[in-house]
């Protein structure tokens, strides 16, 4: 505040009291010039730091605004970290279900291996049309997360076009929706909204859509594009074939690499040395033997029919959960970077501010001394 008073006093002194602060600034700038030239030792440093040319008040405003932005980004980072933890909890909660499911599916498959089964969800037809389920986030400010998955989708679309195959999109998440709405030449079957925490209901909505598309033979293959959560700093957009389901309880990606469904990965957020880290745990579900006297109440085909939609659903849910976790992790690192940048910027601005203030004070002292000398 004292600095402000000083500048007001200085500005009023050369009988220019009616000038605005802008003209005052242009007036004060000649004072700065000698001070800068008088210190030839550090012009290189000051030039590297000061692409900032503005007045003291503007500098102060900028420092304040950077401070505020930093607070916001820091808060967003913390919120994202807390949400990652919740996403992890959701995965843990869904675990007993997926474990029992895989266990049952494996056992039934074993028993059905000898029979020739034909369930609608496992029908492998010649592929004419492919449905792509693209899972994006609802919000921005998460680095390249949404872009990465959309780019992956575009690449896949180009690939399908090259193969001469028809395609349709099922878009999940607001960011994807707005992207595809802006591009009317991409056929979109349905827009679905994601949510802050994926539940079975949303997974069901997607699974229902996919199911009816596939069973009514509108499409012959369904692929799920989502971001796989690898670690807090790494996540990969992946393509995962959803339908037709392989009755062996295995799922294959586009390259024909089979991912074992019994391998259940989940991530755990921990703190190590004061920093958040993620541990990824790979669990191999123990497939305990069924009692051999187990009877099937219905036809094995019917039981498989009941099981496979469940399996489909849990696959979709897991993809949603992974995608959400990746989004939050991406936001966390983006916000952490932003906070660091803000810190840096604040430091630079403060240095410039202090230097300018010092220069002005020096100028004023020189002026006063010169005035006093003239009087004597």
Partner 1 sequence: MTLNLCVLTPNRIVWDSEVKEIILSTNSGQIGVLPNHAPIATAVDIGILRIRLNDQWLTMALMGGFARIGNNEITILVNDAEKGSDIDPQEAQQALEIAEANLRKAEGKRQTIEANLALRRARTRVEAINAIS
- State yes or no: residue 358 binds partner 1 (CB under 8 A): no
CA angle at 263 for the pair 257 and 266, rounded to the nearest 5°: 115
Kindly state the tokens that stand for 103: 């266990």
CB nearer to partner 1: give 69 or 204: 204
- State yes or no: residue 307 binds partner 1 (CB under 8 A): yes
Burial class (CB within 10 angstroms; exposed 0-12, middle 13-18, buried 19+) of 228:
middle
CB nearer to partner 1: give 65 or 199: 199
- State yes or no: residue 313 binds partner 1 (CB under 8 A): yes
Please list the residues that pair with 251 across neighbouring strands.
259
What's the length of the chain? 376
For residue 136, the Cα-to-chain-centroid distance in whole angstroms is 9
**142 carries an active-site annotation:** yes
The interface region with partner 1, picked from 75-83, 149-157, 285-293, 356-364 by CB under 8 A, is: 285-293
Please list the residues that pair with 28 across neighbouring strands.
none
Spell out the residues 6+ positions from residue 316 whose beta carbon is closer than 8 angstroms to its own.
133, 203, 206, 207, 210, 224, 242
- State yes or no: residue 68 binds partner 1 (CB under 8 A): no
Residue 141 and residue 175 in contact, taking contact as beta carbons nearer than 8 Å: no
- State yes or no: residue 203 binds partner 1 (CB under 8 A): yes
- State yes or no: residue 290 binds partner 1 (CB under 8 A): yes
DSSP at 42? S
**Of 252, 177, 170, residue with least CA distance to 207:** 170
CB nearer to partner 1: give 259 or 310: 310
CB nearer to partner 1: give 103 or 364: 103
Dump the DSSP string for 109-137. Answer: HHHHTTS----GGG-----SEEEEEEE--
* Of 90, 148, 186, 230, the one binding partner 1 by CB under 8 A: 90
- State yes or no: residue 291 binds partner 1 (CB under 8 A): yes
Of 3, 54, 142, 252, the catalytic one is 142
- State yes or no: residue 120 binds partner 1 (CB under 8 A): no
The interface region with partner 1, picked from 236-244, 277-285, 305-313, 359-367 by CB under 8 A, is: 305-313
Catalytic residues: 142
Which residues lie near partner 1 (CB under 8 A)?
Answer: 90, 93-94, 96-98, 100-101, 104, 108, 199-201, 203-204, 208-209, 212-213, 215-216, 218, 290-291, 293-298, 302-303, 305-307, 309-310, 313-314, 317
């Amino acid at each position: 505040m004292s600095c402000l008073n000083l500048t007001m006093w200085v500005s009023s002194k050369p009988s220019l009291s009616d000038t605005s602060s802008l003209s005052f600034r242009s007036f004060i700038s000649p004072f700065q010039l000698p001070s800068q030239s008088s210190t030839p030792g550090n012009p290189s440093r000051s030039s590297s730091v000061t692409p900032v040319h503005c007045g003291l008040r503007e500098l102060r405003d900028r420092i304040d605004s950077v401070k505020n932005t930093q607070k916001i980004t820091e808060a967003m980072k913390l919120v994202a970290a807390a949400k990652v933890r919740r996403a992890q909890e959701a995965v843990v909660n869904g675990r007993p279900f997926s474990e029992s499911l895989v266990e049952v599916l494996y056992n039934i498959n074993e028993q059905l291996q000898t029979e020739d089964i034909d369930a609608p969800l496992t029908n492998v037809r010649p592929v004419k049309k492919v449905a792509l389920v693209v899972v994006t986030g609802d919000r921005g400010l998460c680095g390249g997360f949404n872009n990465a998955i959309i780019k992956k989708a575009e690449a896949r679309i180009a690939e399908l076009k090259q193969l001469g195959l028809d395609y349709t999109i099922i878009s999940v998440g607001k960011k994807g929706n707005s992207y595809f709405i802006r591009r009317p030449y991409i056929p979109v079957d349905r827009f679905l909204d994601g949510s802050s925490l994926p539940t079975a209901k949303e997974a069901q909505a997607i699974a229902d859509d996919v199911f009816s598309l596939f069973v009514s033979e509108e499409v012959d293959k369904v692929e799920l594009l989502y971001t796989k959560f690898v670690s807090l700093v790494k996540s990969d957009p992946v393509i995962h074939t959803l339908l037709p389901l392989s009755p062996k309880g295995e799922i294959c990606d586009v390259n024909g690499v089979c991912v074992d469904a019994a391998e259940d990965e989940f991530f755990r957020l921990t703190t190590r040395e004061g920093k958040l880290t993620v541990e990824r745990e790979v669990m191999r579900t123990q497939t305990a033997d069924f009692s051999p006297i187990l009877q099937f109440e219905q036809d094995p085909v019917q039981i498989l029919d009941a099981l496979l939609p469940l399996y489909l659903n849990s696959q979709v849910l897991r993809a949603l959960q992974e995608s959400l976790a990746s989004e939050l992790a991406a936001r966390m690192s983006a916000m952490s970077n932003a906070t660091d940048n803000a810190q840096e910027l604040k430091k630079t601005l403060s240095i410039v501010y202090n230097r300018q203030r010092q220069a002005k004070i020096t100028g004023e002292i020189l002026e006063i001394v010169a005035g006093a000398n003239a009087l004597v």
